[in-house]
Structure 1
């Protein structure tokens, strides 16, 4: 609980308001008193920083009606109701419709304090989460670097915010270049350990024996081991599967000891983000990790989607990075034509976002020389472009739209291996409409099976 947690005390009895107010003020609350629900409703908004303590039986708007009104103002606002002995059934009904709790008069002051403290803690967590989501919307936290409007990326950002508050170990999976390290940085920055730097090590960048010594220390290693440097913060292990069997055993031992240590004055507090480009296998040991370590690390799991399934995010990301490079190189950013846009959307992107960033930089350097042929850059990356036009050719808007529509349907059919039902769901098309468009563009389901 914050030292100055606010509590609105609502009761038509002045003596009770005064006594409860004095008691809670001595317990580091900031009380605000109201003699009626009507007076309180004029002040309380979704931004109200505290909790509500209200009598049930009051003239005018009673406690039950007040509860319903406050539920519409802010469902996350904790409301504690004070009841007489005969009002307990009513209080139970209040709990059913959303009250935080109730307390019977005459109440034990310590019991009241305990209840208000718990409610204030709940309110604080609610407001902190809202602040995080507001910052995300305002583009002011590291989660902003997980760009895109695709539902998969929106879900990823939501998962980052939720898992950041959970404070458990996280296994982050995804293909090379998808942005797994960005997700890890965002997780740390949005969590309770953000005030301390995250310790990051690429397990594939060092020899196994050197890595083990760097992580856990040794007689010939005077530096503080990385697991100790990350105590109280986060240890991010990129390419976790590159850990040797010996290092995996020692990491598991450290994690188990942190959980089981009940005797130390300050046991180790270590959060681990394990990053891997491998896909968990359905049989045998998941990833190239010992099974007990895998399940210790995979209590929470985050999957970063590949670029090729993110649809129009590909164009959004290309425009974003090309503008950044254009500013760096002091030139105009390239403007996508319909042909280049269609080819960007259908490229397989084996290197994912990292490959797209590289292509955006080369496109800007190309534009700086007065040229623009983004499709040629894709060919240089080994992609056979399906859409091509003579340089400088002009086409009516209708032809651009049709070419783009054909590309989207073709791309969806390839991704879903000819499953018409999956394509219908992805593109939100009725079966008859999809069949007509496939016939129009000469697309046969058999070619994708």
Structure 2
């Protein structure tokens, strides 16, 4: 995203001086001298932030803030004033300004605030792009996320299987998403408007199986972890499949059913019946290129569900994610994204020494993180009060929060 700042100030000398300063720091500046000039630049998905003086002839900075929010409620607007007072600052923040600064403003402070605003804007636009992409294409494109070759192959297998009525066996490690693939298979089939019935094979009785088949009439019956099916119920299912009805059988397994049937622990006839079409879900460690995209997707969903602004996902976070083997696959990544979106960071993935204990740096980091979180809890997420308690400058405090992946809003009542 272009690092763009819409700079609005009626004083030409101030406007030019600020504009030059921002440009020298690598920012693209669009200068405007009034509300009327500025508003024409504000469109939905504006690729940057607004830095506006409050006192201007005609409509002032508060009017511009209101207009910007009407165009795009998530567009950061930073307000500047040469006559700073508490009521004005309170009004600016209560009306939704990203921050409020008094002129003349310290250049480092201004750049820090603009930097945070641009990061927030970038995340908002990235999440919008992800959501827009998720609405494009068929169910496989929307729900089986990934840009790797293995992800493409998986989608191709699912689409091919969906065009038939044959039984399908979906194999994948725990947490890899066998249920999700089965659901997509159903959505792509000609029976998408009919029932999709999911049953857990573990502990399933013959009566429950019969009831599930009845509910799946005209649609799809998905048996999750079919390898756990009781021997008698395996035989009952085989009999049902040998007398086809108006329903489709899809089974999922993380066990090695080839070995299970070879050792007599799984009915061989049922195995060959189910294994007519096999779809293998690659483990997450086999398609690591998909991890950043998946993590951003899960963070976006988790943040939206918790009514939080998605946190910044820096390259240090991506590096930590890519360094993991993810034995829990997509489910574990989703859980990590949920914790991260709630401001709990990625502490569960801290590096350790060879003997399994944390090194001094890791222990110190955990202590610091704990102190930051405790202060935020005591002040209900009020960052300024927490920083004051810890005797930290505001910028240092925010830098530490970012490094630890802690979000003040997650501690607010």
TM-score, normalised with respect to structure 1: 0.47
Match of 1:289 among 258, 261, 266: 266
The CA distance in 2 between the partners of 1:381 and 1:243, in whole Å, is 40
After TM superposition, list the pairs within 5 Å mapping 1:326-365 onto structure 2: 326-365=303-342
The CA distance in 1 between the partners of 2:260 and 2:140, in whole Å, is 36
Unpaired runs of at least 5, structure 2? 1-132, 366-413
Structure 1 residue 189: Cα displacement: 0.7
After TM superposition, list the pairs within 5 Å mapping 1:373-412 onto structure 2: 373-374=345-346, 376-379=347-350
Per the alignment, residue 427 of structure 1 pairs with none
Per the alignment, residue 222 of structure 2 pairs with 236
**Do the aligned partners of residues 330 and 257 (structure 1) sit closer, same or farther apart at CA in structure 2, a change above 3 Å counting?**
closer
Partner SS state of residue 171, structure 1: strand
The CA distance in 1 between the partners of 2:318 and 2:199, in whole Å, is 37
Structure 1 residue 197: Cα displacement: 0.8
Could you list the per-position Cα deviations for residues 46-97 of structure 1 after superposition, in whole angstroms to 9, with x for gaps in the alignment?
A: xxxxxxxxxxxxxxxxxxxxxxxxxxxxxxxxxxxxxxxxxxxxxxxxxxxx
Structure 1 residue 149: Cα displacement: 0.5
Structure 1 residue 312: Cα displacement: 2.1
Per the alignment, residue 150 of structure 1 pairs with 148
Partner SS state of residue 250, structure 2: strand
Partner SS state of residue 330, structure 1: coil
Match of 2:298 among 302, 316, 321: 321
Per the alignment, residue 215 of structure 1 pairs with 209
**Do the aligned partners of residues 137 and 329 (structure 1) sit closer, same or farther apart at CA in structure 2, a change above 3 Å counting?**
closer
Match of 2:160 among 159, 162, 170: 162
The CA distance in 1 between the partners of 2:352 and 2:336, in whole Å, is 9
Per the alignment, residue 414 of structure 1 pairs with none
Match of 2:136 among 113, 118, 138: 138
The CA distance in 1 between the partners of 2:295 and 2:358, in whole Å, is 17
**Do the aligned partners of residues 195 and 329 (structure 1) sit closer, same or farther apart at CA in structure 2, a change above 3 Å counting?**
closer
Match of 2:231 among 235, 245, 252: 245
Unpaired runs of at least 5, structure 1? 1-134, 217-224, 259-267, 368-372, 392-449
Larger radius of gyration, structure 1 or 2? 1
Could you list the per-position Cα deviations for residues 129-181 of structure 1 after superposition, in whole angstroms to 9, with x for gaps in the alignment?
A: xxxxxx99824536511111011111111111111011100000001111111
Partner SS state of residue 349, structure 1: coil
Partner SS state of residue 185, structure 1: helix
The CA distance in 2 between the partners of 1:293 and 1:284, in whole Å, is 9
The CA distance in 1 between the partners of 2:287 and 2:221, in whole Å, is 29
Contact in 1 for aligned 2:227/2:266 (Cα 8 Å): yes
Partner SS state of residue 311, structure 1: helix
Question: Are 1:203 and 2:201 matched, yes or no?
Answer: yes
Per the alignment, residue 50 of structure 1 pairs with none
The CA distance in 2 between the partners of 1:136 and 1:288, in whole Å, is 41
Structure 1 residue 195: Cα displacement: 2.1
The CA distance in 2 between the partners of 1:161 and 1:316, in whole Å, is 22
**Do the aligned partners of residues 331 and 300 (structure 1) sit closer, same or farther apart at CA in structure 2, a change above 3 Å counting?**
same
The CA distance in 2 between the partners of 1:281 and 1:140, in whole Å, is 32
TM-score, normalised with respect to structure 2: 0.50
Partner SS state of residue 312, structure 1: helix
**Do the aligned partners of residues 250 and 269 (structure 1) sit closer, same or farther apart at CA in structure 2, a change above 3 Å counting?**
same
The CA distance in 2 between the partners of 1:257 and 1:362, in whole Å, is 48
The number of residues matched between the two structures is: 229
Structure 1 residue 339: Cα displacement: 2.8
Per the alignment, residue 49 of structure 1 pairs with none
**Do the aligned partners of residues 325 and 226 (structure 1) sit closer, same or farther apart at CA in structure 2, a change above 3 Å counting?**
closer
Per the alignment, residue 38 of structure 1 pairs with none
Partner SS state of residue 366, structure 1: coil
Question: Are 1:302 and 2:265 matched, yes or no?
Answer: no
RMSD: 3.1
Structure 1 residue 329: Cα displacement: 2.5
Structure 1 residue 346: Cα displacement: 1.7
**Do the aligned partners of residues 136 and 310 (structure 1) sit closer, same or farther apart at CA in structure 2, a change above 3 Å counting?**
same
Structure 1 residue 286: Cα displacement: 7.4
Question: Are 1:279 and 2:256 matched, yes or no?
Answer: yes
Contact in 2 for aligned 1:175/1:306 (Cα 8 Å): yes
Structure 1 residue 343: Cα displacement: 1.7
Structure 1 residue 257: Cα displacement: 1.8
